[in-house]
């Protein structure tokens, strides 16, 4: 078990997978390492896709920003299906010191952000817990229905598919670190980098990325799988997708999209932008002849997209090419963001 972050692949396989309740035949896609959503077969050719995530309540960010993360980190998982979320259930375990006024503000933003993306809040649970001082305020589940055979999941990537990543590395981790430690970032990196870091916060939705790549009005059938970038960063997401789909992979390190502000902020906090939380970016497996079409479609809609590598046969392994030299693609069970955040708090960074 890692001290913080997600359960490792080995722990997931040993603890979770052998104990998944009753084996129902209508579960088309159940829990698996590197898989964002479950899919259940419904009558009439439909499928039910659903995902769950923690809800954020981070005082150093603010109530509005916490509500944004609570809604959009779940919506990002849903976007990997190629369809928009429709419903959500939310369980709120609030700190007892949260005032009625602050809770009303937080919930108003939850309502607004759900409404903006067409999601109905259908229920859940609300309460407070003594000694609850975590930045996690509970958990939520988002759901959608769509034609079952059109719902994408990360195991759908195939050997030979190209890999596209949208936006840049370390969007969310850089934004949250800048906003959480504004004085330090401004003093050490300057106001321009700080302001750019803050601006990135509202780029942490990858819902438009997934919908545009897959096609909203009609399906393009050029994308075979998607995986949103969370803990482990862009390279962690690529590795997870390879494991989920049973493929090998190669990535050209020199092609990874690195923003100047993210690189500066990550260097300040001594973390590698390639391997830290990057919500807002989406990794896509694309049929080998389709990258120009997909990239053009994304860019025409204001979404940066970059071809970074390809999936290969499993026996070819997991490779990272750095300055022309082929190395093993590393995978880290614990995202470096967590240590960076709490070390900065412990060191009194403001």
Report the 10 Å Cβ neighbour count for 46.
13
Ranges of beta strands (E only) in 86-241 are 87-94, 120-128, 136-147, 162-166, 223-228
Query: Which pLDDT does position 10 carry in this prediction?
Result: 64
Query: Which pLDDT does position 264 carry in this prediction?
Result: 97
Q: Is 289 helix (H, G, I), strand (E, B) or coil?
A: coil
Query: Which pLDDT does position 59 carry in this prediction?
Result: 82
What superfamily does domain 154-346 belong to in CATH? PurM-like C-terminal domain (3.90.650.10)
CA dist., res. 269 & res. 22, Å (int): 45
Query: Which pLDDT does position 12 carry in this prediction?
Result: 75
Residue ranges covered by each domain of the chain? 9-150, 154-346
Query: Which pLDDT does position 1 carry in this prediction?
Result: 46
User: The sheet that has 248-252: what strands, in order across it?
Assistant: 223-228, 282-286, 162-166, 305-312, 248-252, 318-322, 325-328
257 exposed, middle or buried (CB, 10 Å; 0-12, 13-18, 19+)? middle
CA dist., res. 208 & res. 305, Å (int): 12
Tell me if 233 sits within 8 A of 277, measured CB to CB.
yes
CA dist., res. 181 & res. 194, Å (int): 10
Q: Residue holding tokens 């989920």?
A: 244
What superfamily does domain 9-150 belong to in CATH? PurM-like, N-terminal domain (3.30.1330.10)
Query: Which pLDDT does position 60 carry in this prediction?
Result: 80
**Per-residue confidence of the chain (350 residues) as pLDDT tens digits?**
444 556 665 677 888 888 999 999 999 999 998 999 999 999 999 999 999 999 999 888 899 999 999 999 999 999 999 999 999 999 999 998 899 999 999 999 999 999 999 999 999 999 888 877 778 889 999 999 999 999 999 999 999 999 999 999 999 999 999 999 999 999 999 999 999 999 999 999 999 999 999 998 788 999 999 999 999 999 999 999 999 999 999 999 999 999 999 999 999 999 999 999 999 999 999 999 999 999 999 999 999 999 999 999 999 999 999 999 999 999 998 899 989 999 998 999 99
Query: Which pLDDT does position 278 carry in this prediction?
Result: 96
Helix or strand (DSSP H, E) at 303: none
Query: Which pLDDT does position 16 carry in this prediction?
Result: 86
Tell me if 79 sits within 8 A of 228, measured CB to CB.
yes
130: left (phi over 0), alpha (psi -120 to 50) or beta: beta
Report the 10 Å Cβ neighbour count for 159.
17
């Amino acid at each position: 078990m890692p001290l913080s972050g997600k359960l490792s692949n080995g722990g997931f396989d040993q603890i979770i997978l052998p104990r998944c309740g009753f084996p129902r035949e209508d579960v088309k896609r159940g829990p698996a390492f590197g898989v964002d959503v479950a899919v259940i077969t419904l009558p009439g050719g439909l499928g039910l896709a659903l995902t769950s995530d923690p809800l954020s309540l981070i005082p150093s960010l603010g109530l509005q920003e916490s509500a944004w993360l609570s809604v959009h980190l779940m919506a990002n998982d849903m976007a990997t299906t190629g369809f928009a979320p429709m419903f959500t259930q939310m369980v709120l375990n609030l700190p007892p010191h949260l005032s009625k006024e602050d809770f009303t503000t937080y919930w108003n933003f939850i309502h607004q952000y759900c409404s903006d993306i067409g999601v109905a809040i259908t229920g859940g649970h609300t309460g407070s817990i003594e000694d609850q001082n975590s930045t996690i305020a509970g958990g939520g589940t988002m759901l959608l229905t769509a034609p079952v055979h059109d719902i994408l999941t990360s195991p759908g990537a195939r050997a030979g598919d190209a890999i596209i990543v949208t936006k840049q590395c370390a969007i969310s981790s850089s934004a949250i670190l800048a906003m959480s430690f504004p004085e330090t970032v401004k003093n050490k990196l300057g106001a321009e980098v700080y302001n750019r870091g803050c601006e990135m916060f509202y780029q942490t939705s990858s819902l438009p990325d997934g919908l545009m790549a897959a096609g909203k009005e009609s399906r393009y059938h050029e994308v075979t799988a998607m995986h949103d970038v969370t803990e482990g960063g862009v390279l962690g997401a690529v590795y997870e997708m390879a494991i989920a789909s049973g493929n090998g992979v190669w990535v050209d390190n020199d092609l990874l999209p690195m923003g100047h502000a993210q690189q500066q902020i990550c260097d300040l906090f001594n973390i590698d932008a390639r391997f830290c939380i990057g919500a807002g970016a989406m990794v896509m497996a694309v049929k080998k002849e389709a990258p120009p079409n997909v990239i053009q479609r994304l860019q025409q809609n204001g979404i940066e997209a970059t071809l970074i590598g390809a999936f290969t046969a499993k026996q070819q392994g997991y490779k990272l090419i750095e300055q022309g030299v082929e190395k093993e693609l590393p995978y880290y069970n614990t995202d470096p963001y967590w240590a960076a955040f709490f070390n900065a708090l412990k060191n009194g960074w403001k």
